[in-house]
Amino acid sequence: MKAFFGSMTGRVFTVLLLGIIASAALTQWLAVGERTRAFERYRDFHAMERAEQLISTAEALSEPSRATYLRMATRGTILLQRPDQPLADTTGPTEFSTRLQQRLGQGIQLMPLKERPAACYQPRQSYIFAPSQWGGACEAMRVRLRDGELLKLSILPPPEKPATEYSEMLALLPFLFSVAVLAYLVTRMTMRPLKLLAQAAKDLGNDINHPPVVLSGAAEIRQASAAFNAMQARIRQHIMQRTQMLAAITHDLQTPLTRLRLRLEKVVNPDLQQRLIDDLSAMQQMVKEGLDLARSMDTTETMQALDLDSLLDSVCSDATDSGQPVELNGKAGMALMGRPLAIRRCLVNLIDNAVKYGHHASVTVERLVGAARIRIRDGGPGIPEDQMARVFEPFYRIETSRSRESGGTGLGLTIARNIAEQHGANVVLANHADGGLEVTLVVPEFYAVR
C-alpha cells in the first residue's frame, strides 16, 4: 500500500479522488443549504397563514366558543392558548411578528416575548451538510385581542422526520465507491503509457535490441515514445559501431602478431628472443580479451533455458581438468533464461580471476526466492575498499597485490559485469572477514528479455 501511494499512479489517484470528493462535498453543502433555506421560507409562509387563521378565528368567536376552540388550537407546531402563568417580558418586534401584525390589522396587538420556546434550541438530527438547528421562525408572542383578552402564540419548528433504516453516511457509500472507481480508471488510463515507457527504459538497459515502444496514448506520450525510440536507435548504432571497431582492430592485429612470432624464431640471442616472445604473448592476450570484450557487448545470441547446476558443474570441471584448484558446493535446483556462451564466459572469467589472484576458487551456489546466488571466494589479499568500483573499469589494474606479474589486461571483471547486467544479474565484490575476496553473482530465475 505504501509503495502504491508513493508511485505516480497512487499520487495522481489520491489527488484526483480527493479533488472529486471535495468538489462533490462543496456542491452537496451548497445544495443542502439552499434546500434548507427554501424549506424554512416555505415553512414560515405556512406558519404565517396558520397563525393568522388561529388568531382571526379566536377573535371572531364568543367567550364560550373561544374556550373550546383554544383547546383545539394547542395541537401541532403553531399553538394559540391561554397562558397558565403571567407572561415574561416582551422585546422589540421581529420580522415574523411585524409581517403577522400587518396581516391582522391594528385592532390586535402582537408583542414578542424575550423567552423563546425550549423547542427552538433543540438540535436537529445529525446530518453532515445541514445546519444543526432550525433557522426559520421560532418564537413566542403575547396576543391582545380587541376585547382585551391576552393569549400566547407559539411558533415551533416542524417535527423531525423519523430516522430511516440507513444513515446518511451509508447512503453516500455508493457515491464514494463510484468516485473511487472512476478516479482509479482515469489514473490508470493516464499512467499506463508512462508505465510502458518506464518498462521500455528498463528493458533497454538489459537488451539494446529490444523492440521499440508502440506509439499510443495522448499526443505528448506519443511524442515522448517517439523520442525514446529514436534515442534507442542512436544508442544501438553507437554501440554497434564501437563493437565493430574494437572487433576489427583486435582481429586485424592477430595477423601481424602471428607473423612477428614466426620471425622471432630467427632471433639469435636467446634472452632477447624470450623477452620479445613474452611481450608478444601479452599483446596477443590483450587482443584476445579485446575480442572477448567486444563479444560481451553483443546481444544477438539466442536466449534459452539453462540448468544452472549443470552449467556450474561443467565450468568447474573444465577448470579442474586444466589444473586449476576449483571446488563447487551446493545446488540451486533451478533453471534460468540466458545466452549459454555469454553466461559461461562470465563464470569462467570470475573463476579464472579468483584462481589467478587468489590461488584457488571456492564456488558456492544456493537458491533464493526467485533467484540463485553464486559466491566465488579466493585466498588472495583482497581489494582495497576505495578501489572496489574501479576494478570494473576496462583495463584498470591494481598494482600492489594484483601486479602484472600475474598477467591479465584488466578486462575480466568488465566482461563479466557486462554479461551479468544483460541477464538482469549483478556482481558484488566484498573482502571476506577471514581473508580473501568474495564475488557474489545473483541471477534471477527464468530471466528473459521482454
Domain end among 300, 319, 334: 300
Domain end among 271, 300, 329: 300
* Per-residue pLDDT at 317: 92
pLDDT at 450 over 60: no
Do residue 311 and residue 431 come from a single domain? yes
Lowest mean pLDDT: which of 43-57, 207-221, 315-329, 389-403?
Answer: 389-403
Do residue 220 and residue 93 come from a single domain? no
Do residue 331 and residue 421 come from a single domain? yes
Determine the structural domain holding residue 245 and report its residue range: 207-300
- Distance in Å from the first CA to the final CA of the chain: 27
Mark out the alpha helices in 297-401 (DSSP H runs): 308-321, 340-358
225 vs 127 pLDDT, higher one:
225
pLDDT tens digit sequence for 66-111: 888 888 888 888 998 888 887 778 888 888 989 999 988 888 889 9
Residue 162 included in any domain: no
pLDDT tens digit sequence for 130-183: 677 788 889 999 988 888 888 889 998 888 765 554 456 666 778 778 888 888
Do residue 287 and residue 221 come from a single domain? yes
DSSP letters for 202-235: HHHHH-TTPPPPP--SSHHHHHHHHHHHHHHHHH
Report field, pTM of the whole predicted structure over 0.75:
no
CATH number for the domain harbouring residue 328: 3.30.565.10
Cα–Cα distance list, 91 to 52, 99, 116, 153 (Å): 21, 16, 11, 15
Q: How many domains is the chain built from? A: 3
pLDDT at 292 over 80: no
Mark out the alpha helices in 90-167 (DSSP H runs): 95-104
* Per-residue pLDDT at 448: 37
pLDDT tens digit sequence for 223-262: 888 888 888 888 878 777 777 776 677 667 777 777 777 7
Provide the 8-state DSSP code for 372.
E
Do residue 314 and residue 426 come from a single domain? yes
pLDDT at 402 over 50: no
pLDDT tens digit sequence for 50-68: 999 998 998 888 888 888 8
Do residue 90 and residue 126 come from a single domain? yes
410 vs 446 pLDDT, higher one:
410
Residue 229 included in any domain: yes
CATH number for the domain harbouring residue 289: 1.10.287
Measure the CA–CA gap between 111 and 101, rounded to whole angstroms.
10
Do residue 245 and residue 145 come from a single domain? no
Domain end among 300, 322, 348: 300
Do residue 12 and residue 128 come from a single domain? yes
Q: In this structure, are strands 326-329 and 361-368 parallel, antiparallel, or unpaired?
A: parallel
* Per-residue pLDDT at 165: 45
